[in-house]
Amino acid sequence: MTIKKMLCFSLVSLVLGFGLFCSIADAAEDFVKLIGAGASFPAPLYNKWFKDYHGLHSNVQVDYQSVGSGSGIKNFINKTVDFGASDAGMNTEERSQVDVGVQLLPMTAGAIVLSYNLEGVPELKLTREAYAGIFLGKVTKWNDPLIAKANPDAKLPDVPINVVVRADSSGTTFVFSQHLASISPEFAQNPGVNTMPNWAVGTRSKGNEGITASIRTTPGSIGYIEYGYAKGQHLPMADLENKAGKFVKATTASAQASLAGVQMPADLMAWLPDPAGDDSYPIVTYTWLLCYKRYDDANKLQALKGVIEYGLTEGQKSSEQFGYVPLPAPVVAKVRDALNNIQGK
């Protein structure tokens, strides 16, 4: 090889090498990691979305921690995360603590079920008086007349009811206690609506995951969990008496029937403490992503909006598979509009 050719070859190698270096540097610079934390209620679905989105966009990774709505709100206020998640939304006082503003986005919905572990009782009906009484500590045996009357063919044992409740500050608890307060004046007075009520009865477990595990391993137990957790663990779920006096199973259809009668307000926080309708399941809720209205990092802003858009489109197709309710089209449209409120600096 002549000196001229050697020089040319070296120059080309240098240019190609520099180009490769720049490409790697650009790729590293474009990599975005989003940190989120909050509600355990939607965690299985969110983790599915985030994993699938990373598969399509390898430069975006989302790390979501299922720590409960209360901790998620705290982390969001303290700005230790890029987004939060809550089944209780955020109240006015909490939002006032975020100087860059808050945008709540409903991303999915689901039912809260009463799952139980009772050998020989594959099906169970609970009246409103019965399940309110259980969580008030008034109904303490499985063969209590309030339960037996609605289940004449069931072999209900004469054993104590082991009630399982959340140990952490929880949006699921907020929604469940909100429902109990709407159907029971006694519950409304004490313990009342709260993310962490002073329950009259119950052993404590952390997260939907913890309550699910406690029910599955403890005979005679009953607890409140998101439908997808019960479905995934093949736990029996009680048919609950709704506002119309009908016993309704938790299904996608019965949850959709509940959502059908609710109009989404301007702040995108809609509550369904006791939905009307013969086919409506009585305990259904939306769950929200908590986003800042201003992000200083343009790459994180772009990545977050991309993840949210994926959740509103392709992600909704996974909802029913995981035990959640796809958002109604009008709600999706409102969430898309609200994305315009999330801006860069």
Question: Over the stretch 116-146, which tens digit does the pLDDT of each residue have?
Answer: 999 999 999 999 999 999 999 999 999 999 9
Among the three residues 239, 266, 284, which one is the final residue of a domain in this structure? 284
User: Going along the chain, which residue ranges are E strands?
Assistant: 32-38, 60-66, 83-86, 102-116, 125-126, 162-166, 203-205, 221-226, 239-241, 247-248, 284-292, 294-295, 343-344
Mean pLDDT of 302-320: 97
Q: Could you check whether the bond before residue 191 is cis, i.e. omega within 30 degrees of 0? A: yes
Return the number of other C-beta atoms located less than 10 Å from residue 105's C-beta: 24
Q: Is residue 206 in some structural domain?
A: yes
Q: Which domain holds residue 103?
A: 30-110+285-344
Return the number of other C-beta atoms located less than 10 Å from residue 174's C-beta: 24
- Cα 48 to its chain centre, rounded Å, is 13
Residues 279 and 289 in one domain: no
Residues 57 and 155 in one domain: no
Q: Is residue 139 in some structural domain?
A: yes
> Residue 318: which CATH number?
3.40.190.10
d(CA 103, CA 52): 24
Residues 101 and 117 in one domain: no
d(CA 85, CA 69): 6
Residues 270 and 246 in one domain: yes
Residue 185: the pLDDT is 98
145-196 per-position pLDDT tens digit: 999 999 999 999 999 999 999 999 999 999 999 999 999 999 999 999 999 9
Domain count, the chain: 2
pTM given for the model: 0.89
Nearest Cα to 197, choosing from 224, 176, 226? 176
Residues 218 and 127 in one domain: yes
Residues 267 and 161 in one domain: yes
Residues 102 and 218 in one domain: no
Q: Is residue 23 in some structural domain?
A: no
What are the residues facing 165 on neighbouring strands?
204
Residue 261: the pLDDT is 82
d(CA 144, CA 149): 9
Residues 270 and 133 in one domain: yes
Among the three residues 265, 284, 303, which one is the final residue of a domain in this structure? 284
Cβ-in-10-Å burial (0-12, 13-18, 19+) of 92 comes to exposed
Instruction: For the chain, give the mean pLDDT.
Output: 92
Structure confidence at residue 30 as a pLDDT band (50, 70, 90):
confident
Residues 208 and 279 in one domain: yes
Q: Is residue 259 in some structural domain?
A: yes
